[in-house]
Structure 1
Amino acid sequence: MHQILVVEDESVIRGALRRLLERSGYTVEEAASVAEAGSYNLADFDLIISDLRLPGAPGTDLIRKGGKVPVLIMTSYASLRSAVDSMRMGAVDYIAKPFDHNDMLNAVKRIISDHPQQKEQDQPAAADEPGGTSELVGNCAAMRKLMQHIEKFAPTESTVLVLGETGTGKELVARSIHRLSPRAGKPLVSVNCAAIPETLIESELFGYEKGAFTGANTNRTGLIEAADGGTLFLDEIGELPMEAQARLLRFIQEGEIRRIGAVDSRQVNVRLICATHRDLHTLAAEGLFRQDLYYRINVLRLFLPPLRERGKDILYLAETLLERQIEKLKRKPIALSPRAIQAITTYQWPGNVRELEHALERAVILTDGDEIDNEALGIDLELVNINRIRGERFNPAAAKKRHASHNITSDPQEDLSLEDYFQRFVIEHQDSMSETELAQKLGISRKCLWERRQRFDIPRKKSASRVKKAAS
Structure 2
Amino acid sequence: MNKRILIIDDEKNMRWAIKKALEKEGYNIYEAENGQDGLEKLEEIYPDLILLDLRMPVMDGMEALQRIKEINQDIPVIMLTAHGTMESAVEAMKLGALDYISKPFDIEELKVLIKKALNVGELKSEVNYLREELEKNTGKTVIGESPKMKKVLEIVERVASTNATILILGESGTGKEVIANTIHYNSDRKDKPYVKVNCGAIPENLIESELFGYEKGAFTGAIARKIGKFERARGGTIFLDEIGELDLGMQVKLLRVLQEREFERVGGNETIKIDIRVIAATNKDLFKMMQEGNFREDLYYRLNVIPIELPALRDRKEDIPLLIEHFLNYYGKEIGRKNMSISKKAMEKLIQYKWSGNIRELENMIERLVILVDGDIIEERHLPSEVFTRTEMDNAFKLPENGVNLEQVEKSLISQALEISNGNQTHAAKLLGITRHTLIYRIEKYNLQDV
Residue in 2 that maps onto 1:201? 207
**How far off its partner does 1:233 sit?**
0.5
**1:337 maps to amino acid:** S
Residues 457/328 of structure 1: CA separation in 2 closer, same or farther (3 Å cut): farther
Can you list the C-alpha shifts for 1:215-246, whole angstroms capped at 9, x where unaligned?
00010000011100000100110001211111
Matched, 1:156 2:131: no
1:104 is matched with none
Alpha-carbon displacement from aligned partner over 1:433-459 (angstroms, at most 9, x marks no partner): xxxxxxxxxxxxxxxxxxx9995399x
- Aligned mates of 1:453, 1:296 — CA distance in 2: 36
Residues 367, 376 of structure 1: 8 Å contact kept: yes
Cα 1:374–1:238 change in 2 (3 A) is farther
Partner of 1:230: 236
* Residues 336-377 of structure 1: CA deviation (Å, up to 9, x unaligned): 123321221000000000000001111111112222234544
CA distance in 2, matches of 1:252, 1:330: 47
Pair member with larger Rg: 2
| Aligned twin of 2:300 | 294
- Call closer, same or farther: CA 1:319–1:282 in 2, change over 3 Å: same
CA contact (8 A) 2:329 2:338 kept: no
Q: Distance in 2 between matches of 1:338 and 1:329?
A: 24
Q: Where in structure 2 are the equivalents of 1:20-35 lying within 5 Å?
A: none
Residue equivalent to 1:270 = 276
2:317 counterpart SS class: coil
The residue aligned with 1:383 is 389
What letter corresponds to residue 322 of structure 1 in structure 2? L
Contact 2:244 2:286 in 1 (8 A): yes
* Partner SS state of residue 220, structure 1: coil
Partner of 1:239: 245
Give secondary structure in 1 for the equivalent of 2:257.
helix
**1:456 and 2:431 matched:** yes
Offset, 1:180 = 1.2
Change (3 A) 1:231 1:402: farther
Q: Measured at CA, do residues 237 and 392 of structure 1 come closer, stay the same or move farther in structure 2, by a change above 3 Å?
A: farther
Alpha-carbon contact 1:343-1:384 (below 8 Å) kept: no
Provide the rounded CA distance (Å) in 2 between the counterparts of 1:193 and 1:285: 21
Query: How do residues 212-231 of structure 1 correspond to structure 2 at under 5 angstroms?
Result: 212-231=218-237
CA 377–229 in structure 1, closer or farther in 2 if over 3 Å, else same: farther
Verify the 8 A CA contact 1:374 1:380 in the aligned structure 2: no
2:421–2:428: 8 Å Cα contact kept in structure 1?
Answer: no
Once the two structures are superposed, the pairs formed by residues 49-128 of structure 1 within 5 Å of their partners are: none
> Which sections of structure 2, spanning at least 5 residues, go unmatched?
1-138, 400-407, 434-451
- CA-to-partner distance for each residue in 1:393-416, whole Å, 9 max, x for gaps? 9xxxx99975664xx5xxxxxxxx
Unpaired runs of 5+ in structure 1? 1-132, 409-419, 429-451, 459-472
TM-score, with structure 1 as normaliser? 0.56
- Mapped to 1, the partners of 2:386 and 2:302 lie a distance apart of 45
Q: Deviations over 1:163-195 (max 9, x none)?
A: 100000000111111111111110111111111
Moved over 6 A (4+): 398-401
Structure 1 counterpart of 2:366, one-letter code = L
CA–CA separation in structure 2 for the residues paired with 1:453 and 1:241: 26
Aligned equivalents of 1:377 and 1:333: distance in 2? 18
Q: Distance in 2 between matches of 1:453 and 1:297?
A: 33
User: What residue is the counterpart of 1:189 in the other structure?
Assistant: 195
State the percentage of identical aligned residues: 43
Aligned partners of 1:198, 1:182: CA distance in 2, in Å?
33
1:252 deviation in Å?
Answer: 0.7
Aligned to 1:319: 325
Are the structure 2 counterparts of residues 231 and 180 from structure 1 closer, same or farther at C-alpha, using a change threshold of 3 Å?
same
- Please, what is the CA RMSD of the aligned residues? 2.9
Aligned-partner residue type, residue 243 of structure 2: I
Q: TM-score, normalised by structure 2?
A: 0.58
Aligned to 1:175: 181
Q: SS at the partner of 1:155?
A: coil
Report SS of the residue matched to 1:312. Answer: helix
Match of 2:346 among 328, 331, 340: 340
Query: Structure 2 vs 1, CA of residues 379 and 313 (structure 1 numbering), >3 Å: closer, same or farther?
Result: farther
